[in-house]
Amino acid sequence: MSWKDEIAHLRKRQALAHNMGGAEKLARQKAAGRLNVRERLDLLLDPGSFREIGSLTGKARTNAEGGFEGFSPANCIFGRGTVRGRPVAVVADDFTVRGGAADAAIVEKQIEAEKMAGELGLPLIRLIEGTGGGGSVKSILDMGASYVPFNPAWDQVVANLERVPVVSLALGPVAGLGAARAVSSHYCVMVKGQSQMFIAGPPVVAGVGEHVSKEELGGSDLQLAAGAADDAYASEADAMEAARWFLSYLPDMAGDAADRTPPSDDPARIDESLREIVPRDKRFGYDMRAILNTTLDEGSVFEMGRHFGSSVITALARLDGWPVAVLASNPNVYGGGWTAEAAQKILRFVDLAETFRLPVVHFVDVPGFVIGTRAERAGTIRHGARALSAIYQASVPWCTMLIRKAYGVAGAAMMDHTRFRYRYAWPSGDWGSLPLEGGVEAAFKSVLATAEDPEALKEELRTRMRDLSDPFKTAERFWIEEIIDPADTRPLLTEFANLTAKLRTRDKPGTRYRP
């Protein structure tokens, strides 16, 4: 006895599922310049590695006699595959079936995809296009009643942020729960001019009197500036390559150590040009990214979130092959001062480092919080205090390089000072409670008010304070642990990465990740 007929029927159903939403919908997807879901899986994963789960999920059509007539697949596809030989879980929306809406999906597929990643310790990649939520109001007609809203799989979405690396790629219009899934990840990527992300789309927004296009409402430029998306790329291929690069710095699951790549850059390499990169005039900025590129392994700097909180740089990189999390001030934006947005960016990035046990290297040039009415309206001090709390809650190894300024509460956030202070300063170091440029007026206000020549007294006080602010006087008291030749920065950082390699794993959960 053979099961040949049943196996043939199985293959027929699977072949029909590969037709997705049908020729017309596929043509419309192509005309919009977007890949279909099967093409995306082929592009993302190693050739032939995708193992689909739920390939028969959908709705069969039968004729009057009850015979099989056709098949419409669910619009959620998931399974496992490999990325550069590394096993991953992947879940993808099929926009050609009811625009990716959940009322055309089998909700258990999304749930199982999240569970598979979390329980098997597999990095999770979400390819999102559509609402991913409760569908349209037409659902009420199909169900015969309305329902109290709930978010399918949300317990698993939240849990996975602390279990495995999660990457979301928004590859077309993404609304509602789909947008919430996109941002509830460690790295969220969009495609320029092709993907948009919003709470509700233009037709719904029109109901409150605002008439805008999809791009105006939630295009990549807007979402990058808002910090909802981390990066945007020119094509789906580029976005997927960024996802692969991001994952290469992280372990398969929280608690494990991320892989070290074979070192390709001399750990003892020095760069004498660093001795001249910081201007003597503190009013001028310099290229912090140039410092990162020459002190970290060549070609390893992967910056994220460049367009949000731009006074701070966040990146993943390598030191002698070891992955590290990099925080750096950007003196060319607000002088490196912390804004509310920068503080939010720091908090989330420190949580990422803590979740996956990445040692942090912090390049500091912070004049303090950005001040003024706009900063106060943005709640900068509260956001700043939250970022400071994240730094003090972190237990990962931490090395600070004081490049120039460190003033006030934000300057003190260079590290948790109660831990071992693995810290170096360049000779350009300049620190204190307030910069001299405004601090003298504040500290000596009453004295200056009664002086015969306030300007002369002000200059005299500044001169005395500048003498006392010499970083070598700080070093004499061991208030800074070591002042170094800037050219020696890389050898010291690679030493830190190797010395802390044994601290990259953990047995118990750390601080909860906050998306």
| For residues 80-106, average pLDDT | 84
Q: What is the pTM of this model?
A: 0.90
Asked whether 324 and 302 are in contact (CB, 8 A), the reply is no
| For residues 355-380, average pLDDT | 96
Cα of 228 vs its chain's centroid, Å:
9
Of 33-42, 212-221, 498-507, which range is least confident? Answer: 498-507
Instruction: Identify the band that residue 106 occupies on the pLDDT scale cut at 50, 70 and 90.
Output: confident
DSSP conformation class of 167: E
Q: Where are the domains of the chain?
A: 4-247, 272-433+472-503
Q: How many CB atoms lie within 10 A of CB 487?
A: 16
Backbone angles phi, psi at 485, to 5 degrees: -70, 125
Partners of residue 429 on adjacent β-strands? none
pLDDT 10s digits, 412-435: 999 999 999 999 999 999 987 656
Domain 4-247 identical in fold to domain 272-433+472-503: yes
- Kindly write down the DSSP assignment for every residue of 136-160, as one continuous string: -TTHHHHHTS------TTHHHHHHH
- At 67 the pLDDT is 80
Partners of residue 398 on adjacent β-strands? 360
Cα of 384 vs its chain's centroid, Å:
18
Q: Which of 118, 147, 158, 153 is nearest to 132 (CA)?
A: 153
d(CA 105, CA 134): 10
pLDDT at residue 465 tops 90: no
pLDDT > 90: what percent of the chain? 74
| For residues 195-210, average pLDDT | 92
Instruction: Identify the band that residue 373 occupies on the pLDDT scale cut at 50, 70 and 90.
Output: very high
- At 235 the pLDDT is 97
pLDDT 10s digits, 425-463: 999 999 876 565 555 555 566 666 677 777 776 676 666
Instruction: Identify the band that residue 153 occupies on the pLDDT scale cut at 50, 70 and 90.
Output: confident
pLDDT 10s digits, 223-239: 999 999 999 999 999 99
Output the CA torsion 293→296→297→301 (10° steps): -60
| For residues 501-508, average pLDDT | 83
**Token pair in block for residue 271:** 């760069």
Instruction: Identify the band that residue 329 occupies on the pLDDT scale cut at 50, 70 and 90.
Output: very high
| For residues 218-223, average pLDDT | 96
DSSP helix/strand/coil, 171? strand
Instruction: Identify the band that residue 358 occupies on the pLDDT scale cut at 50, 70 and 90.
Output: very high
DSSP helix/strand/coil, 108? helix
Task: Report the topology of domain 4-247.
Answer: 2-enoyl-CoA Hydratase; Chain A, domain 1 (3.90.226)
Q: Which of 507, 498, 502, 363 is nearest to 429 (CA)?
A: 363
pLDDT at residue 513 tops 90: no
Backbone angles phi, psi at 172, to 5 degrees: -165, -160
How far is the CA of 188 from the CAs of 77, 87, 197, 246, 454, in angstroms?
Answer: 19, 20, 11, 10, 54
**Token pair in block for residue 94:** 């099929």
| For residues 489-511, average pLDDT | 87
d(CA 317, CA 299): 9
| For residues 178-188, average pLDDT | 96
DSSP conformation class of 200: S
Task: Report the topology of domain 272-433+472-503.
Answer: 2-enoyl-CoA Hydratase; Chain A, domain 1 (3.90.226)
d(CA 452, CA 456): 9
Q: How many CB atoms lie within 10 A of CB 355?
A: 24
H-only helix segments in 424-512: 436-443, 445-450, 454-468, 471-476, 489-499
d(CA 129, CA 171): 6
How far is the CA of 4 from the CAs of 1, 53, 66, 384, in angstroms?
Answer: 9, 22, 21, 66
d(CA 329, CA 339): 12
**Token pair in block for residue 321:** 């092959």
pLDDT at residue 85 tops 60: yes
- Kindly write down the DSSP assignment for every residue of 225-249, as one continuous string: HHTSSSEEESSHHHHHHHHHHHHTT
Of 378-382, 419-423, 469-473, 490-494, which range is least confident? Answer: 469-473
Asked whether 496 and 361 are in contact (CB, 8 A), the reply is yes
Instruction: Identify the band that residue 240 occupies on the pLDDT scale cut at 50, 70 and 90.
Output: very high
DSSP conformation class of 46: P
Pairing between strand 86-93 and 76-83? antiparallel
Beta strands per DSSP E along 34-121: 51-53, 58-62, 68-73, 76-83, 86-93
Q: Which residues, including other chains, have CB under 8 Å from residue 143's CB and lie 6 or more apart?
A: none
**Token pair in block for residue 240:** 């997927």
pLDDT at residue 509 tops 70: no
| For residues 346-354, average pLDDT | 96
